[in-house]
Structure 1
Amino acid sequence: MTREARDTGRAADRAADGRRPLWRERDFGVFWAAQTLSVLGDSFALIALPLLVLEATGSIARMGLLTAAGGAAAVLAAVFAGAVVDRVDRRRLLIGCDLVRMVLYGLIPLVWLLGPQVWLLYAVLPLCEAVGMFFAVGYVTVVRSLVGTEQLTEANGRLNATAAAAGVLGPLCAGVVAAWSGPAAAVGVDAASFGVSAALVALVRFRPRPADDREPDERPGLWQDDDGTVGTVMAVGALGTITGALLVARTRRLLGFGRTWTGAVAVCGLAFAGLGRAGDVPTVALLSAAFLACVGMAGTCSMSLRQEVTPEHLLGRVTAAYWTLQYSAAPVGAALLTWAAEERGTAPVALVAGACCVLIAVAALFTPVRRAGRA
């Protein structure tokens, strides 16, 4: 069958179903652009804010603590985001999330005109990361009201593709802007992207949600809606992230970069492998906390080393290149692991993935990383 015949057949199928192709759906196209801008703004913040802390204080530990605080806030927000999103007007929620992030991020370059105020970053980033989690959950829930169930796969594919692209381009652009005009200017661009995203979402028309036909006294309260098991695991995991951020500087001074990084990567692998065999909630929670703590420690050490050895005039470009590689590999790894877990089961896949982390740590022992001294 020729390509023209296949395209004609697809068009006929859509016509028979009364559906228009997605590129002709005005509301989906506008929402698609808004979601892409929102992801772009988030990825800008990942680069610009840590660089702003480093520029103002010169402290690598404080920069790592800021990143960890933002991640912990997002995890904690995820515990409650689902219940809140199901109770409110989702369109207004999305617009509100973008406007809040626009205002909060917009404060930073304005305040920086009068001089660095590092405390503001520790207030803004955790709040924005928490709000971003509510936006992320909300945007997933409204896709069905834009395209219907028949086109969900196609719509999600397009949304995920552009989100991945924005995740790659965002750090690259943030690094360029930070190197050219400074990190504060990059944060200003970040704030503007959320303003445009909010304006676009305001133009989207969502289909009405079905009414909840349960009696008011039959509807669970906000605190009962979230599964207690999931909430417990996520809360303990967040504590692990915070603990890792607080310990990383002291651990590195005591053991040096090489031992800290390789040890953290090895423990990550062991914890992840153990998650596949864990049979009770406390074990899952503890392993999750260990995994997230060591992910944070390894990531902070890695970022610190790049900042220590990279010349100042190249720091933005090196940072952006690193994040580009990381964001490019993440979707591939996620797709591969989820496919393998579905085909072979969670336990063997977790064991293999964890073993790979341990092997990376062992391989690092045969590189100059092993000889990295204390700092």
Structure 2
Amino acid sequence: MSAEPRAGRAPLWRDRAFGTYWIAQTLSAAGNAFAYLAVPLLVLEVTGSVAQMGLLTAVAGVASVIAGVFGGVLVDRYDRRRLMIVADLVRMVLFGLVPIVWLVSPQVWLLFVVLPICAAAGMLFQVAAVTAVRNLVDADRITEANGRLQATFAATAVLGPLLAGVVSARFGPAVAIAVNAASFALSAVGLRLIRLRTAQPADTAPMARERPLVEFLAGARFLWRQPVLRALTVLLSVFIFLTYGFTDVLIYHVTHDLGGTEGTVGIVLGLAALGTVAGALLVAPLRRRRGFGATWIGAHTLCGFAVAGVGVATTVPTVTALTAVYLCCLSVGGICSMSLRQEITPDHLLGRVTSAFWSTHYALGPAGAAILTWAAGRYGVPAVALVAGVGCLLVAVGGVFTPIRRARAPNRRPPHRDSGGPRPWARSAAEAPHGGGVGTPGT
């Protein structure tokens, strides 16, 4: 369990650097919430095929995995904030192309070009974003900071799908994707205003640079040699295989089986996202009181029941409620595992450890999405959801028989603050490129 927060400090929301970062991340998440609904609807509108939706998800997933192999090396070598800005600008331009092309004629092939590149940029962004939290707050506030970030993301996920559903129904899904593109521009501006702290001397161990693959493998070795992180990586890789295509299946279930419209899908995903808000707010006190193991295992147990229940649900309100439970528990489990990795991993390895975890974690996701959506179209959503739900329960049971059950985070001294307070346009030592070498690195 992480250390208790120290008294006498200003509330986290009053921290200028974290607050600016918080706003920038919220803007990015708001756009993602639009794309979350608009991209599948765009494919369904043109092709009418859930299998095509799954194939696009799978292709984007493969790009994420490939980007993850090198993303951690880049994050540990170069300015993390600048990498995030570049990733935002790339996604702004590419997503902006979609509505422009759709004005002339719908071209599904363009999505198979744009989405993988944006997914790769998104992976780089997420690896950098995880490492940035470590350089923004004290070590004993990492879980709280992650919880606040995820709660805000979830709040945007409530309004995002609702608004995306309305926009898609009124103007078409392509316009909703244009909103997504604009959000990345705003996020990039916000990121220009922050400055990261320097890392602790014990966490900064500059070494001669190696080949990118060698540096990535250094992160993978750390991940594999740490018993709790190894167990989390294996079990969560199975979990992502079972659930990576869940959103596509859910949208298909609501529109095909329950007769819902695009607006209905937006309402379901928007209201269900309240579960993510609840999970993000509950995770810190749950972890303090119950410990990492019980919190993580319990969350994934409830995920399994919720996924199975969605398949047999015959009304939209029931599907919404079960999806909210699923997202709540997904939020709790994800924040727990991400926070533990940030606490355990030395700063100079955090990018590569995060990269190695996500590359491994998501490796089975694309295949899972393709199989899940194909099976849903062929055998029906109830059968597929039941199998996936049982698989999630087995993942939770697996946690009981691994070091996850007894996992505790080490106590760390908080990273020191730079004198003079935040200087928005300056470049901190933590952001400066440094050597890689041997070492290693996870959500």
Question: Which residue matches 2:431?
Answer: none
| Paired residues for 1:181-330 under 5 Å | 181-208=171-198, 212-216=204-208, 221-227=214-220, 291-296=239-244, 299-309=247-257, 315-330=261-276
Does the CA-based 8 Å contact 1:171-1:323 persist in structure 2? yes
1:37 corresponds to 2:27? yes
Structure 1 residues 23 and 107, CA gap change in structure 2 (3 angstroms): same
Query: Aligned partners of 1:351, 1:27: CA distance in 2, in Å?
Result: 33
Query: Aligned partners of 1:366, 1:187: CA distance in 2, in Å?
Result: 30
Structure 1 residues 226 and 321, CA gap change in structure 2 (3 angstroms): same
Query: Aligned partners of 2:263, 2:314: CA distance in 1, in Å?
Result: 28
Question: Bigger shift: 77-86 or 133-142?
Answer: 77-86
Give the secondary-structure state (helix, strand or coil) at the position aligned to 2:135.
Answer: helix
TM-score w.r.t. length of structure 2: 0.57
Query: Aligned partners of 1:94, 1:358: CA distance in 2, in Å?
Result: 33
Structure 1 residues 51 and 170, CA gap change in structure 2 (3 angstroms): same
What do the CA deviations read for 1:138-180 (whole angstroms, capped 9, x no partner)? 1222234334446545543432221121222221221121112
Give the helix-richer structure, 1 or 2: 1
Does the CA-based 8 Å contact 1:79-1:230 persist in structure 2? no
Does the CA-based 8 Å contact 2:43-2:53 persist in structure 1? yes
Question: Which residue matches 1:167?
Answer: 157
* Distance apart, 1:105 and its partner CA: 0.5
Query: Aligned partners of 2:295, 2:262: CA distance in 1, in Å?
Result: 41
Structure 1 residues 123 and 196, CA gap change in structure 2 (3 angstroms): same
What do the CA deviations read for 1:295-347 (whole angstroms, capped 9, x no partner)? 35665444223222566xx622211122124433346568679856735497x
Query: Aligned partners of 2:39, 2:269: CA distance in 1, in Å?
Result: 14
Question: Which of 91, 109, 121 in structure 1 is aligned with 2:99?
Answer: 109
Query: Aligned partners of 1:31, 1:364: CA distance in 2, in Å?
Result: 41
Question: Which residue matches 2:330?
Answer: none
Percent identity among equivalent residues? 43
Does the CA-based 8 Å contact 2:24-2:191 persist in structure 1? yes
Does the CA-based 8 Å contact 2:72-2:216 persist in structure 1? no
| Paired residues for 1:323-362 under 5 Å | 323-330=269-276, 339=287, 342-344=292-294, 349=298, 352=301, 356=305, 360=309
Query: Aligned partners of 2:209, 2:58: CA distance in 1, in Å?
Result: 40
Give the secondary-structure state (helix, strand or coil) at the position aligned to 1:216.
Answer: coil
* Distance apart, 1:90 and its partner CA: 0.6
Question: Which residue matches 1:70?
Answer: 60
Give the letter aligned to residue 199 of structure 1.
V
Query: Aligned partners of 2:59, 2:32: CA distance in 1, in Å?
Result: 15
Structure 1 residues 305 and 198, CA gap change in structure 2 (3 angstroms): same
Structure 1 residues 228 and 66, CA gap change in structure 2 (3 angstroms): farther
Does the CA-based 8 Å contact 2:151-2:278 persist in structure 1? no
Which gives a bigger RCO, structure 1 or 2 (Cα 8 Å, sep 6+)? 2
Structure 1 residues 373 and 132, CA gap change in structure 2 (3 angstroms): closer
Query: Aligned partners of 1:365, 1:139: CA distance in 2, in Å?
Result: 37
Question: Which residue matches 2:388?
Answer: none
Give the letter aligned to residue 225 of structure 1.
A
What do the CA deviations read for 1:199-229 (whole angstroms, capped 9, x no partner)? 1111223334578544416898433233169
* Distance apart, 1:137 and its partner CA: 2.1
Does the CA-based 8 Å contact 2:69-2:216 persist in structure 1? no
Give the letter aligned to residue 306 of structure 1.
V
1:61 corresponds to 2:54? no
* Distance apart, 1:293 and its partner CA: 4.3
Does the CA-based 8 Å contact 1:79-1:226 persist in structure 2? no
* Distance apart, 1:135 and its partner CA: 1.4
* Distance apart, 1:50 and its partner CA: 1.1
**Which runs of no fewer than 5 residues in structure 1 stay unpaired?**
1-9, 15-19, 232-275
Query: Aligned partners of 2:62, 2:187: CA distance in 1, in Å?
Result: 25
Does the CA-based 8 Å contact 1:84-1:222 persist in structure 2? no
Task: Give the greater-gyration-radius structure (CA).
Answer: 1
Query: Aligned partners of 2:44, 2:177: CA distance in 1, in Å?
Result: 14
* Distance apart, 1:26 and its partner CA: 3.2
Query: Aligned partners of 1:301, 1:353: CA distance in 2, in Å?
Result: 19
Query: Aligned partners of 1:366, 1:198: CA distance in 2, in Å?
Result: 43
**Which runs of no fewer than 5 residues in structure 2 stay unpaired?**
1-6, 316-376, 381-443
Query: Aligned partners of 2:208, 2:52: CA distance in 1, in Å?
Result: 48
Query: Aligned partners of 1:82, 1:166: CA distance in 2, in Å?
Result: 27
Query: Aligned partners of 1:353, 1:359: CA distance in 2, in Å?
Result: 10
Structure 1 residues 219 and 110, CA gap change in structure 2 (3 angstroms): closer
Query: Aligned partners of 2:146, 2:245: CA distance in 1, in Å?
Result: 33
Does the CA-based 8 Å contact 1:51-1:183 persist in structure 2? yes
Query: Aligned partners of 1:354, 1:151: CA distance in 2, in Å?
Result: 26
Query: Aligned partners of 1:32, 1:88: CA distance in 2, in Å?
Result: 22
Give the secondary-structure state (helix, strand or coil) at the position aligned to 1:226.
Answer: helix
Query: Aligned partners of 2:154, 2:106: CA distance in 1, in Å?
Result: 32
Query: Aligned partners of 1:305, 1:359: CA distance in 2, in Å?
Result: 13
- C-alpha RMSD of the superposition: 4.1
